[in-house]
Amino acid sequence: MVKNWFSLKSKIKMNRKAYLQFSFAWLFAIIVGAFILFLAIFFSAKLINTEQTIQDAKTGKEIGILLNPLEIGFESGKSNSITFPVETRIYNKCNNNGEFGRQIIQVSQKSFNKWSETEIDVGFSNKYIFSNGFAEGKKFYVFSKPFEFPFKIADLIYITSASEKYCFVNPPEEIEKELLFLDQENLIVKNCSEDDVKVCFSGTCDIRINLNTKQVIKEESSVSFNDDALMYAAIFSDENVYECHVKRLMKRLENLAILYNEKAIFLSLKGCNSNLDLLTLINLAQDFDNSQELNLISEIAEEIQEQNNLGECKLW
């Protein structure tokens, strides 16, 4: 019995040794294998993220390029749509630095029920896009209107998500006509529903427009406009985006006024006088701070426009 017990013990010892030898090799393989797998998964995830970022940047750039025809006024007053295959967020940012400032677009797309994180800015100096901080959806409506102050400065582009509806309550006839002509599904003139963002020209609403003082009043903000193009801009965009783009527009106005002033000097040598007070306009545009100052420039712009219309040589 004692002998049997010893033989059993030695067998267990032997087995243990074998077990130990086998398990160490496996343990080593598992640890290193796991490490390799971790690296593979880590780099794959990084690669997918990079690809997603590239895709987002590419989409942003494509949006900007597709808006080129709108920027140059060919499609003014017509509504177009952009449809994405997946849920997309178009972030609208604006930068005031430099000679003309920059329109910045960031795009984030939903993949595996998660929004891609992108920090790549796609910038354009010659575009002025008005939308909320970000517009979300698969389908977006785009339309544009020229901004003249007194000469044409740019075409303003308005982007709204198809899922966000704006209902204009009792608008003036001209605006109603324009909206009906646009025939944009998310801009409603009659039969508002509860979920719509209500825009009214009298009374209290989500967005209130005072045509006398030329102001658009939202929950906590109030901005000024001088014509229909800027009125729509104020309706469809955040206060920050609006103010920043208005500043950029004044920068372009300043540069265009310099060109027209030089053209005027050149033409006067040929005996074609225009006598426009463009220098005052240049100075006002240079000192422009916020939309409240639009009224002041507006008066001078109107005077200059009248003089240009009556002049021997029209500058624009």
Does residue 260 contact residue 196 with C-beta atoms inside 8 Å? Answer: no
Strands (E) across the chain are located at 79-95, 102-111, 114-115, 122-124, 129-130, 134-148, 152-161, 166-169, 187-188, 197-200, 207-210, 215-217, 222-224
Under the binding rule (CB under 8 A), the answer on residue 275 touching other proteins is: no
Site for other proteins, residues 103 to 132, rule: CB under 8 A: 124-126
Under the binding rule (CB under 8 A), the answer on residue 296 touching other proteins is: no
Under the binding rule (CB under 8 A), the answer on residue 189 touching other proteins is: no
Q: Which of 56, 71, 196, 238 contacts other proteins by CB under 8 A?
A: 71
Instruction: Give the residue with the Cβ less far from other proteins, 197 or 233.
Output: 233
Q: Which of 52, 69, 84, 134 contacts other proteins by CB under 8 A?
A: 69
Name the minimum Å distance from CB 309 to other proteins.
Answer: 9
Under the binding rule (CB under 8 A), the answer on residue 12 touching other proteins is: no
Reference 246, options 220, 225, 222, 218; nearest CA is 225
- With 0-12 CB in 10 A as exposed, 13-18 as middle and 19+ as buried, what is 7? exposed
Does residue 147 contact residue 230 with C-beta atoms inside 8 Å? Answer: yes
How far apart are alpha carbons 302 and 11 in whole angstroms?
Answer: 107
Instruction: Give the residue with the Cβ less far from other proteins, 71 or 196.
Output: 71
Name the minimum Å distance from CB 272 to other proteins.
Answer: 5
Under the binding rule (CB under 8 A), the answer on residue 65 touching other proteins is: yes
Instruction: Give the residue with the Cβ less far from other proteins, 60 or 137.
Output: 60
- Token pair for 302: 């109107």
Instruction: Give the residue with the Cβ less far from other proteins, 85 or 203.
Output: 85
> 222 - beta bridge partners?
217
Does residue 161 contact residue 135 with C-beta atoms inside 8 Å? Answer: yes
Does residue 311 contact residue 273 with C-beta atoms inside 8 Å? Answer: yes
Under the binding rule (CB under 8 A), the answer on residue 259 touching other proteins is: yes
Binding string, residues 34-63; x marks residues near other proteins by CB under 8 A = --x--xx--x---x---x--x---x--xx-
For the chain, helix (H) and strand (E) counts, in that order, are 7, 13
Name the minimum Å distance from CB 21 to other proteins.
Answer: 5
Under the binding rule (CB under 8 A), the answer on residue 199 touching other proteins is: no
Residues at the interface with other proteins (CB under 8 A): 21, 24-25, 28-29, 32-33, 36, 39-40, 43, 47, 51, 54, 58, 61-62, 65, 68-69, 71-74, 99-100, 124-126, 151-154, 252, 255-256, 258-260, 262-263, 266-267, 270-272, 312-316
